[in-house]
Structure 1
Amino acid sequence: MSDTSLGKEAIETRVNTDLTRVSDYFALLKPRVMSLVVFTGVVGLVVAPGTLHPVLAITALLCIAIGAGASGAINMWFDADIDAVMERTQERPIPAGRVSANEALAFGTVLSVASVVLMGLAVNYVAAALLALTIAFYVFVYTMWLKRRTPQNIVIGGAAGAFPPMIGWAAVTGDVSAESLILFAIIFMWTPPHFWALSLWRDIDYAKAGVPMLPVVAGRDVTRRQIVLYSALLFPIAVMPYVLGYAGVFYGAAAAVLSGLFLVMSLKVWRKKDEESAKQMFAFSLLYLFLIFATLLGENLVLTVM
């Protein structure tokens, strides 16, 4: 084999290694979670009264994305031991040995600080403070304090995932209002039934890792009742944007129908008591949140154009 061929192979190997490295660092950011966080942040930004320069709007969303990803990286650093035990997380970069724990911690810390500083300097201090609170809540309150200590980890810790629309709203208005708190409350109330549906058919995994999810600690029947309770409480909160007047009839009708279906799915989980209904509930919960916020976003954009 010629020296030229050997050189090309060495370059290709190096490129492939670098691409794999980038892919692993990207995986630390929990891109699927990040995409939902950014989407709800977009909705808060668009629905908020007032305007924001497109460059600043993109900067705000970039900061939300980076902050969310940074939280995910620090979460993976802290949870590397239980990720190695749980089947669905064993291939994450740290337990798989592709990224060291120290690298993940440094990566997440730098991105956390950078996202908050950039948000404060480029957008406003209220949005930056909310972003800092989101990161701190997810890392210190949920990951380090609640997750391994109480079955209420998802109920309280769910607040971290509910902040993004408030951050988007604050990026435009510079404040926190009742309207943005309702957007927060929709996600906050949605989070427990969403994750408890997952834990109903992953409870063995959580038990093996020592994570006190509700079905592990209180049993599946209690978990099913709690899913129904939170689904029922979600219904009136989801229609509040229409009641308060910052969403139209189309959103109000869609929210009522979707929330009704959400409640029906939860009752099916409670009545049938099988794994399949829990899986269906989990899948529908993802679709539900997307459609609720997509409807609010789409209706607002149509009214703006008209």
Structure 2
Amino acid sequence: MFKKYLFLTKPGILFGNFITTLGGFFLAAQGSIDLPLLLLTLLGTTLVVASGCVFNNIIDQDIDQKMQRTQNRALVTKAISVPIAFIYGSVLGVIGFALLYFLVNPLACVFAGIGFIVYVFLYSLWTKRTSIHQTIIGSISGACPPVIGYVAVAEQFDYAALILLLGYAFWQMPHSWGIAIYRFQDYTNANIPILPVARSVKRTKIESLIYVILFILTMNLLYVFGYANICFAITLNAIGAYWIYLSIKGFSTADDQVWAKRYFLFSVQFITVLSLSFLFTAVTPAPQLLFPF
């Protein structure tokens, strides 16, 4: 039974957000890690994300039963009831928000709230079912954890935080579309208007390449503005060049599903390496505030 409740929180998503939260925290910490603050930030963020995932499961029951990869989820098979799942998600969220607000700082809680609202209400309840722009909306929630990690230490929203928000949002696009092409039939069966289903796989590949380039250009600003050192820039651009290569290779692939799976997995590896690299590549800048928070 424990496993059913664990999988209701989508461990894969939790792990990804755990890594990106670490990245933001490492960037702001500049090599000086406050371990209790790090643990509280990770725990609070993970609980909020877990809460959002539980509510997403509740909302997506009708969609999940039409998709091969989700048709065995606990709410679809009735292994867990909706009222119990609602209570479970609510408790996770309340504890997570409380930890961030009282033991980290209110700004971290604000960005956790933004991510939660966007994911549960704007994405899950609305655009996922109705709009081709669903991935853009969802990318905002996916970009909040690194910002939470950053402001947990910096206690301000500066240029670095904005770069993280934009950069990680741009990364979400090709990452999500890679999954959508790989699981094309699932999305078609569920009638979800994601880009490759609503338009075409070719258009998705074109837009994915554009967002990969935007992601790399945006993240380079961390070096340009002095938040990360030359080692970060070399790592980013070297791995980024290979992602561009994979994007271009997609136009001539003989099997879209095989290519898309590789493309998706590489995006995960890329963001993991990049996020963890901030532990060694962050430098002490002279912050320029965008907002006096």
Q: Normalization by structure 2: what TM-score?
A: 0.91
Partner of 1:281: 263
Distance of aligned partners of 1:260 and 1:297 in 2 relative to their CA distance in 1, 3 Å threshold:
same
Q: Deviations over 1:256-289 (max 9, x none)?
A: 0111111111111123263222222111111111
| Larger-Rg structure | 1
1:295 counterpart = 2:267: no
Q: Displacement of 1:222 after TM fit? A: 1.3
Could you tell me how far 1:57 is from its partner in structure 2? 2.6
Structure 1 SS opposite 2:132: coil
* In 2, Cα distance between equivalents of 1:120 and 1:286: 29
Equivalent residue for 2:39? 58
CA distance in 2, matches of 1:93, 1:298: 41
Instruction: Quote the residue 2:8 is aligned against.
Output: 28
Structure 2 CA distance for aligned equivalents of residues 156 and 131 of structure 1 = 15
Question: Does structure 1 residue 217 correspond to structure 2 residue 198?
Answer: yes
Paired residues for 1:25-174 under 5 Å: 25-49=5-29, 53-174=34-155
- The answer to whether the 8 Å contact 1:52/1:172 transfers is no
Q: 5+ residue gaps in structure 1?
A: 1-20, 302-306
Following the alignment from structure 2 to structure 1, what is the Cα–Cα distance between the partners of residues 74 and 55? 12
CA displacement at 1:96 relative to structure 2: 2.2
Conservation of the 8 A alpha-carbon contact between 2:22 and 2:275: no
SS at match of 1:48: helix
Distance (Å, rounded) in 2 between the aligned partners of 1:248 and 1:82 = 45
Q: Which whole-Å CA distance do the structure 2 matches of 1:53 and 1:282 have between them?
A: 33
Query: RCO greater where, 1 or 2, for CA within 8 Å and sep 6 or more?
Result: 2
Report the residue type matching 1:97 in the other structure: K
1:175 Cα shift?
1.6
CA apart distance, 1:193: 0.8
Q: Does 1:204 align with 2:185?
A: yes
- In the TM superposition, what is the alpha-carbon distance from 1:72 to its structure 2 partner? 0.5
SS at match of 1:212: coil
Contact 2:26 2:278 in 1 (8 A): no
Cross-structure match for 1:10: none
The within-5 A match list for 1:256-275 is 256-272=237-253, 274-275=255-256
RMSD of aligned alpha carbons: 1.7
| Contact 2:22 2:276 (8 Å CA) reproduced | no
Q: Which residue of 1 aligns with 2:290?
A: none
1:143 shift after superposition:
0.6
Per the alignment, in what secondary structure is the counterpart of residue 171 of structure 1? helix
CA drift of 1:49 comes to 4.9
**Identity across the alignment (%):** 28
* 1:76 shift after superposition: 0.5
In the aligned structure 2, how far is the partner of 1:251 from the partner of 1:272?
31
The code of the aligned residue for 1:296 comes to F
Contact 1:238–1:259 (CA under 8 A) maintained in structure 2: no
- Report the Cα distance in structure 2 between the residues aligned to 1:271 and 1:97, rounded to whole angstroms: 43
Q: Distance in 2 between matches of 1:227 and 1:210?
A: 21
TM-score, normalised to structure 1, is 0.87
Q: In 2, are the aligned partners of 1:203 and 1:213 still within 8 Å (CA)?
A: no
Cα offset, 1:56, TM superposition: 2.9
In structure 2, C-alpha distance between the alignment counterparts of 1:299 and 1:234, rounded to whole Å:
18
Q: Is the 8 A contact 1:269 1:277 kept in 2?
A: yes
The structure-2 alpha-carbon separation of the partners of 1:38 and 1:201, relative to structure 1 and needing over 3 Å to count, comes to: closer
SS at match of 2:66: coil
Q: Distance in 1 between matches of 2:153 and 2:213?
A: 32
Distance verdict in 2 for CA 1:187–1:123, change over 3 Å: same
- Contact 1:119 / 1:125 at 8 angstroms: preserved in 2? yes
